[in-house]
């Protein structure tokens, strides 16, 4: 018996194959999958493999789908195969050039351009987050979620069934693009081109001591527990640390700060002036930081973020960071922190 799970969208789907016969079920909520399986009275001891979509798609849905797969194999030595969402969507489609589409956020979609040829899936444009306006003019067969601004989308595809067929390919040694027993989903970032097209172009310069009054103003309006001037002064003067500002015209719009710790870089502080937010400056600051750190010996960038700060968490995920663990009572007020990291080498 094989089980395929696709939880990349708001609605989930599963396909169960028993002795060559399949049943596909669409579920309104991904978290209901275990109850559906229980109602079907399926003996899990006959389960030989689980395939689950690991991205792109809804962060919440993907994590739930993976958690369900882990729960089903808890008392069994069953392999879990992490399959890229678009591979499952396209596996049983005819050969051709495809544009898979899944909603990401307002005016943005998870997408890419993929060539399917003789059972092979070839990426012509990376899986990433793209503006709807850009995707709408790409040439190819559109498949995925029906969204305003994009026409002629095929919505009747069988991702979970495709996942089961991929499992069979894996077992026969014909498919390599999977992750065995994945720990967490894949988090896709904005495409590099989209980050470069941020609403404001700015100069990226070293922070100077004379900038501290403006830096402190941005810091205080951004955080419940702001840094003091001494902390900033220490970082700015420390040769093992990194401090950059975003300058638009004659004023500072934001900054990013961190320090090197052996083979790691600790991203310690990033903020954007209140009236300049939601204009792509934060994304661009992180993007430029990553590009600079890639030129050093550091192999990883890590950070802490308040567990309740969903906008920041989603931004870091979009830039490729993954959640490593929770640090309880990390902040002065007792709030927990998420530790997130990005492996760059």
What is the tens place of the pLDDT at every residue in 93-139? 999 999 999 998 888 899 999 999 988 999 999 888 888 999 999 99
Distance set, CA 7 to CA 12, 63, 117 (Å): 5, 8, 26
Sequential DSSP letters for 20-87: TEEEEEEESSGGGHHHHHHHTT--GGG--EEEEE-SSS-HHHHHHHHHHHHHHTTTS---EEEE-HHH
> Of the candidates 82, 22, 89, which has an alpha carbon nearest to the alpha carbon of residue 51?
82
pLDDT at 271 (0 to 100): 96
Domain range 1-85+158-186, its CATH number among 3.40.80.10, 3.40.50.720, 3.30.1360.120, 3.30.420.40: 3.30.420.40
Is the pLDDT score of 199 beyond 50? Answer: no
Q: Same CATH topology for 1-85+158-186 and 93-155?
A: yes
CATH annotation of 194-343: 3.40.630.30
> Per-residue pLDDT for 55 more than 80?
yes
Look at the domain 93-155 and name its fold.
Nucleotidyltransferase; domain 5 (3.30.420)
> Given a cut of 80, is residue 44 above it in pLDDT?
no
Q: What is the pLDDT of residue 119?
A: 85
The answer to whether residue 151 scores a pLDDT higher than 80 is yes
Local structure of residue 190 (DSSP, 8 states):
B
| Sequence ranges of the domains in the chain | 1-85+158-186, 93-155, 194-343
Overall pTM > 0.85 = no
Q: Give the pLDDT of residue 226.
A: 93
Q: What is the mean pLDDT of residues 207-216?
A: 93
Higher pLDDT, 332 or 140: 140
Computed over every residue of the chain, the mean pLDDT equals 89
Residues 158 and 288: beta-carbon distance below 8 Å: no
Q: Would you call 279 exposed, middle or buried from its count of C-beta atoms within 10 A (0-12, 13-18, 19+)?
A: middle
pLDDT tens digits for 265-314?
999 999 999 888 888 899 899 999 999 999 999 999 999 999 998 889 98
Cis-peptide, bond into residue 180, ω within 30° of zero:
no
Q: H or E stretch including 111?
A: strand 108-117
């Amino acid at each position: 018996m094989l089980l395929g799970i696709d939880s990349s969208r708001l609605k989930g789907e599963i396909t169960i194959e028993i002795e060559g016969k399949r049943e596909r079920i669409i579920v309104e909520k991904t978290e209901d999958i275990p109850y559906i399986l229980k109602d079907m009275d399926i003996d899990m001891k006959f389960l030989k493999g689980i395939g689950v979509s690991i991205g792109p798609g809804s962060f919440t849905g993907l994590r739930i789908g993976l958690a369900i797969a882990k729960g089903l194999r808890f008392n069994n030595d069953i392999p879990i195969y992490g399959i890229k969402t678009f591979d499952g969507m396209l596996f049983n489609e005819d050969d051709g050039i495809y544009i898979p589409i899944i909603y990401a956020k307002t005016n943005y979609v998870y997408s890419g351009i993929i060539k399917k040829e003789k059972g092979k899936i070839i990426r012509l444009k990376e899986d990433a987050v793209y503006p709807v306006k850009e995707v709408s003019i790409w040439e190819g067969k559109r498949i995925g979620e029906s969204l305003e601004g994009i026409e002629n989308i095929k919505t009747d595809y069988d991702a979970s069934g495709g996942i089961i067929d991929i499992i069979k390919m894996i077992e026969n040694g014909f498919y390599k693009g999977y992750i065995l027993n994945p720990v967490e989903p894949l988090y896709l970032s904005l495409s590099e081109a989209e980050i470069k097209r941020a609403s404001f172009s700015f100069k990226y310069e070293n922070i100077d001591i004379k900038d501290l009054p403006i830096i402190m103003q941005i810091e205080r309006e951004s955080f419940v527990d702001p840094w003091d001037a001494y902390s900033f002064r220490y970082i700015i003067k420390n040769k093992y640390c990194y401090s950059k500002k975003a300058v638009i015209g004659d004023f500072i719009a934001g900054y990013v700060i961190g320090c090197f710790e052996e083979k790691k870089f600790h991203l310690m502080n990033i903020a954007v002036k209140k009236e300049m937010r939601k204009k792509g400056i934060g994304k661009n600051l992180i993007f430029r930081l990553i590009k600079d750190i890639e030129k050093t010996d550091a192999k990883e960038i890590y950070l802490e973020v308040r567990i309740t700060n969903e906008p920041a968490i989603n931004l870091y995920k979009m830039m490729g960071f993954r959640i490593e663990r929770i640090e309880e009572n990390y902040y002065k007020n007792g709030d927990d922190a998420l530790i997130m990291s990005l492996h760059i080498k």
